[in-house]
Structure 1
Amino acid sequence: MEIIRENKAELNDIIKISISQDDYKDNVNGVLKKYQKTANIPGFRKGMVPFGMIQKMYGKVAKLEEIQKVGVDALNKYIDDNNIKLMGEPIPEALEETAFDLLDDFTFNFEIGIQPEVEVDLAKFDVDRYRIVVEDKILEENIANLQNRFGNYDKFEVANETSMIHGEFVELDKDNNATERLNSTSIYIDKLDNEEIELKNKLIGLKLGESIEFEASMVKKSNISLWLGIKLIDVDSVNKIKFTAKEIVNITPQEINIDFFKKVFPEDNIETEEEFRTKLKEINQEEFNKITDQNFVEEVVGKLVTDINFNIPLDFLKKWITYTNNDNAEITEDVIEKEMPNLEKTFKSQIIESTILKNNGFSLSNESILIKAKEIMKQRFESYGYFGIDEKVIEEQVVEFLKVEKNHKGIVDMLVNEKLLEIFNNSIKINEKEVTFDEYKNLKK
């Protein structure tokens, strides 16, 4: 076997792997002998079929599979041995299947994209970070929401001006078909602004089980983000939404008293309204900090992508995306070309993040993923009023939760963002600025 590496372009190489018959013939014979032991062919007892017949029947398939396996194994070993950091995956050059019948020696060509080495000196950067102040009006809105949450619910068949409607929101594409963006949550008709009067009028009179469709431009971006469960930065891509009413209720708010305090914070010994407001304000501040911290990490990474000048193998990446989406008629060369500026930013962000994490000795373990997942699961139970859940129950829920790839990735992303935030806090010059929630929303438009 011979392996040659040739440069094609910047950060773009060809790895040529030449395989002779000696590299694979023993493997092929081993596979055929296994077939011989298990083959059921009329006229022969099991395991007694002549080897020549097995070779004639299965030799081509076994040869093809073993040659490809030897080639791929050699490629992976070469990449590992030479510590090559790939972008995307190797693209194999196709061989005619007839060649496997006619030839004994083969050369496989694999095109690879290489991740560049990037120097990231965080001490050079100066970044603004905004902290949202919990205003009295925010606190009052949250108290009113909690009064509704713990109030008395009367079910109705038809919505009126003060109804809360629980249902399913789903984004519609340009052909009015449902997309994968959907979420079940509630909408309070009397909480809609004057600018959302058109939607309010559609909801009043809506019957249980009925649906309405409305343009995203009719409502505030923050509501679209809440209803579809997406980030604010993704709202601009939404054009139309369908809402289906699953439950319609009118609410008599819970009075503000010690029973109310116990319902909201069952594990805290809160006896006065002042203590209640202080506790709620602390929680509101924590929630705002989560929002601003997440955005801060994204903004810092975005600034690093803009300010650190480095190249990536764009032509290879276009070719790789085309290759991996070969069976998807919607992913055309024009679509890829149009999306390439955004994809370039994404690729560069990933390189910068991985470089920073590596420089700071960060590594993920299954244990850290489990601990974070348990923490999230416990918070979920408590958000529904279930406190003191048995640890074994939480662990069982976490096991099922992490089986879903999207959930597992979400936990990994949380841990990565937490580490990046810690690194940025300790390494970058940060200018802290306090703003109101409305001011912050305007800054992020």
Structure 2
Amino acid sequence: MEISLDKQSANQASIKIKLNEADYQPKVDAKLKDYAKKANIKGFRPGKAPVSMVKNIYGTSVLVEEINSILSESLNNYLKEQTFKVLGEPLPVENNETIEWKTQKEFDFEYKIGFVEEVKVPLDKKFKGTKYSIKVDDKLVEETIENLKSQSGNSTNPEVSEAGDHIYGDLVATDSGFSKTLSLDLSKITKKLAGKFTGISKDAVVEFDSKDIKKAQWEEALGMTEEEAESAKGPITFTVKNINRTEEAEMNQDFFDKVFGPGVVTTEEEFIAKVKETLQGNYDKESKAFTDEELKKELTAAAKVDLPEEFLKEWLIRANEGKVSSEEVEKEFPMYAKQLTWSLISNQLATENKIQAEHEDVIAKTKEMIKEQFASSGLGSQMEDSMDMFVDNYLKGEDGQNYMNMLTSVQNDKVLAYVQETVDLKEKEITIDEFKELLEK
């Protein structure tokens, strides 16, 4: 057997394997003898058929099976010996010449591979990053409490509208004839336009122009799509069918219990403090996630991993057996490349620094995830006794893939924690508005 590697670029190569009769024939002969001992061929007692007859019937299929087995084992062993990191799977190069399995003695096969030579991450105090923390100020707490009071208040249908009401009715575009019955949120349109809907009653007809509605307000205030907004250009009439108003809930024990559960807080001061604590906890998670993503970007840029893009695109198409088109792969490839690059960096840092995800870490992270899911549905405390069962069922799901995904997630957490301890990380406190601006960039 001859195996040779031809590097065609910094990250792509071809591997050629040449097999001669001595490489495969002993295994083929041994398997045919074994077949002869078990074969049930008409005219012969079981296991008594001549090997020559068995070879005539099964010889080609056994030959193909053994050669494929030799190729797979040899290729895998050869790649394990290399210093580079193979990406995806080797792709067989189609040979236009037909293989004559019955007469041919020597066989030539070729595979394409994609790889990266090495992943170097310059991780030291010269590497600078930013650790973001979102400050929950009094303004945000007040806005949150006002929203909670509105959400928990009673709904009414007054005779005359006021600022902040929802006006239910029929919108008609005069020029196009487009019409839609909808609920208009007066708090999400301009004050000038909202003034036309204030102090009116049922059956009132309000006239205005589509120019009076800003681009984002078509969806935010009227719940209309871009296509619908385009159809509603020009003069518009809105016929009021009903007025909906939510009266703010009072700051009392019923309200406290409705928001946080029975008896969790008992005074207005405790309620405000609890709101601030909850907001801070939520934003701490968001700022941590944002910090981690920014560090990933910085690490990716610093590592300068050169992916074999053309090879990977071809591999993705062939590996998915026609389930995705070349156009779909082209569109999704940037996200795939980003995830693959980070995986290479994370694995490299974990190997170099002996960072390992333990089974106990996987269990703990899964419990935390499930608790958050139950808490959002208000069932957290009720599910505590069955938590081990939920964790076990989840980790066994998808034929164990959930466990592997969680194991990878734990390793990423540990790698990023190590990075933050190692590099020059400056803390930066930002407001929620500044955080939203960063997300939009």
TM-score, normalization: structure 1? Answer: 0.68
Q: Does 1:91 align with 2:91?
A: yes
| The one of 198, 212, 231 aligned to 2:218 | 198
The correspondence of residues 283-432 of structure 1 with structure 2, limited to 5 A, is 283-309=278-304, 311-321=306-316, 323-324=318-319, 327=322, 330-331=325-326, 345-389=338-382, 393-402=386-395, 403-404=397-398, 411-412=406-407, 414-432=409-427
* Identity level (%): 31
- The 1:63–1:12 alpha-carbon spacing in structure 2 relative to 1, beyond 3 Å, is same
Which residue of structure 2 lines up, in the alignment, with residue 66 of structure 1? 66
Task: Kindly state the Cα deviation for residue 93 of structure 1 after the two structures are TM-superposed.
Answer: 2.4
CA distance in 2, matches of 1:71, 1:118: 29
- The 1:130–1:387 alpha-carbon spacing in structure 2 relative to 1, beyond 3 Å, is closer
Query: How big is each residue's C-alpha offset from its partner over 1:312-366, in whole Å with a ceiling of 9 and x where there is no partner?
Result: 444544554454456357215xx76677666655544433333233333223344
Q: Does 1:114 align with 2:115?
A: yes
In angstroms, what is the RMSD of aligned CA positions? 4.1
Query: How big is each residue's C-alpha offset from its partner over 1:352-382, in whole Å with a ceiling of 9 and x where there is no partner?
Result: 3332333332233444323311221122222
Task: Kindly state the Cα deviation for residue 67 of structure 1 after the two structures are TM-superposed.
Answer: 0.6
- The 1:337–1:78 alpha-carbon spacing in structure 2 relative to 1, beyond 3 Å, is same
Unaligned runs of at least 5 residues, structure 2: 157-164, 169-182, 190-213, 230-243
The number of residues matched between the two structures is 375
Letter in 2 for 1:351: L
CA distance in 1, matches of 2:85, 2:385: 41
Unaligned runs of at least 5 residues, structure 1: 155-159, 164-187, 204-212, 219-248
- The 1:379–1:304 alpha-carbon spacing in structure 2 relative to 1, beyond 3 Å, is closer
Which residue of structure 1 lines up, in the alignment, with residue 166 of structure 2? 161
For the 8 Å contact 1:18–1:108, the answer to whether it is kept is yes
Q: Partner of 1:111: helix, strand, or coil?
A: strand
Q: Partner of 2:102: helix, strand, or coil?
A: helix
CA distance in 2, matches of 1:384, 1:400: 19
Q: Does 1:215 align with 2:226?
A: yes
TM-score, normalization: structure 2? Answer: 0.69
For the 8 Å contact 1:301–1:353, the answer to whether it is kept is no
CA distance in 2, matches of 1:439, 1:151: 31
Which residue of structure 1 lines up, in the alignment, with residue 134 of structure 2? 132
CA distance in 1, matches of 2:136, 2:341: 35
Q: Partner of 2:63: helix, strand, or coil?
A: helix
Which residue of structure 2 lines up, in the alignment, with residue 23 of structure 1? 23
For the 8 Å contact 1:134–1:285, the answer to whether it is kept is yes
Letter in 2 for 1:78: Y
For the 8 Å contact 1:131–1:292, the answer to whether it is kept is yes
CA distance in 1, matches of 2:35, 2:248: 74
Query: How big is each residue's C-alpha offset from its partner over 1:240-275, in whole Å with a ceiling of 9 and x where there is no partner?
Result: xxxxxxxxx998876543354445445985322222
More deviation in 431-440 or 8-17?
8-17
CA distance in 2, matches of 1:191, 1:22: 85
CA distance in 1, matches of 2:56, 2:247: 81
- The 1:100–1:396 alpha-carbon spacing in structure 2 relative to 1, beyond 3 Å, is farther
